[in-house]
Amino acid sequence: AQKVTQTQTSISVVEKTTVTMDCVYETRDSSYFLFWYKQTASGEIVFLIRQDSYKKENATVGHYSLNFQKPKSSIGLIITATQIEDSAVYFCAMREDMNYNQGKLIFGQGTKLSIKP
Amino acid sequence: DAGVTQTPRHEVAEKGQTIILKCEPVSGHNDLFWYRQTKIQGLELLSYFRSKSLMEDGGAFKDRFKAEMLNSSFSTLKIQPTEPKDSAVYLCASSLTGLGDSAETLYFGSGTRLTVL
């Protein structure tokens, strides 16, 4: 069965530094999609970045990048030059290829990131 | 383009009442999801529609929860009868299937915060 695990409950870093959040997943599918979402203090869930399993190159969007290690079933989120407004809860999620499965999105438990001035 | 719209933003119900939450997906999206979020359980999938067909009915949530997709641009989630343990944030999300960089990515509404007294 699908499973997504985020072991870091909370992380605190100083502004302008780099932070990495871990995520491991379980799937029997050869084709799947991995996502990172951010939930702000207001409760809004915002899509940040994704990695398609067939792509070897790590995805990058703005100051977000991914460390995709397929043999380890790992998809880490890296935020460089962190800002106060990056403080939020970050969710890792996986969606199996809907051509072969039902394509539902399963979330990890979330990591709370606090950026200190 | 309008994002996912959920109404109402807040709902307060007495135990035993019937409540209906509403969702309008992003125009053109053909997948629609209902999730429930609590601090203890995190994000749990309630229902999932693909092109208006029910793909996932949420297992443990079948009993008092019923999601419907009346047309491609409108969905409801009915909880009947409500119980205090149903107090949570209910989130609707939509996505587009197929190829393309934005396909398969879920976009979330702002959620409905339900309080059952």
Query: Does position B1 have pLDDT exceeding 70, yes or no?
Result: no
Q: How confident is the model at residue B98 (pLDDT cuts 50, 70, 90)?
A: confident
Q: Could you give the CA distance from residue B41 to residue B105 in angstroms, rounded to a whole number?
A: 23
Q: Work out the burial of residue B60: count CB atoms within 10 Å of its CB; fewer than 13 is exposed, 13-18 middle, 19 or more buried.
A: exposed
Interface touch A104/B48, C-beta < 8 Å = yes
The chain-wide mean pLDDT, for chain A, equals 93
The mean pLDDT value for A55-74 works out to 96
CB of A48 closer than 8 Å to CB of A37: yes
CA dihedral sign of residues A24, B35, A2, B72: negative
Query: Does position A98 have pLDDT exceeding 70, yes or no?
Result: no
Query: Does position A101 have pLDDT exceeding 60, yes or no?
Result: no
The string of pLDDT tens digits covering residues B6-57 is 999 999 999 999 999 999 999 999 899 999 999 998 999 999 998 888 887 7
- Whether the CB of B91 is below 8 Å from some CB of chain A: the reply is yes
Interface touch A104/B45, C-beta < 8 Å = yes
When CB atoms are compared, the residue of A35, A98, A109 closest to B105 is: A35
Interface touch B104/A95, C-beta < 8 Å = yes
The string of pLDDT tens digits covering residues A15-32 is 999 999 999 999 988 888
Which has the higher per-residue pLDDT, A1 or B38? B38
How many interchain CB pairs under 8 A, A with B?
A: 53
Q: Could you give the CA distance from residue B42 to residue B2 in angstroms, rounded to a whole number?
A: 27
Count of CB atoms within 10 A of residue A38's CB?
A: 20
Query: Does position A75 have pLDDT exceeding 70, yes or no?
Result: yes
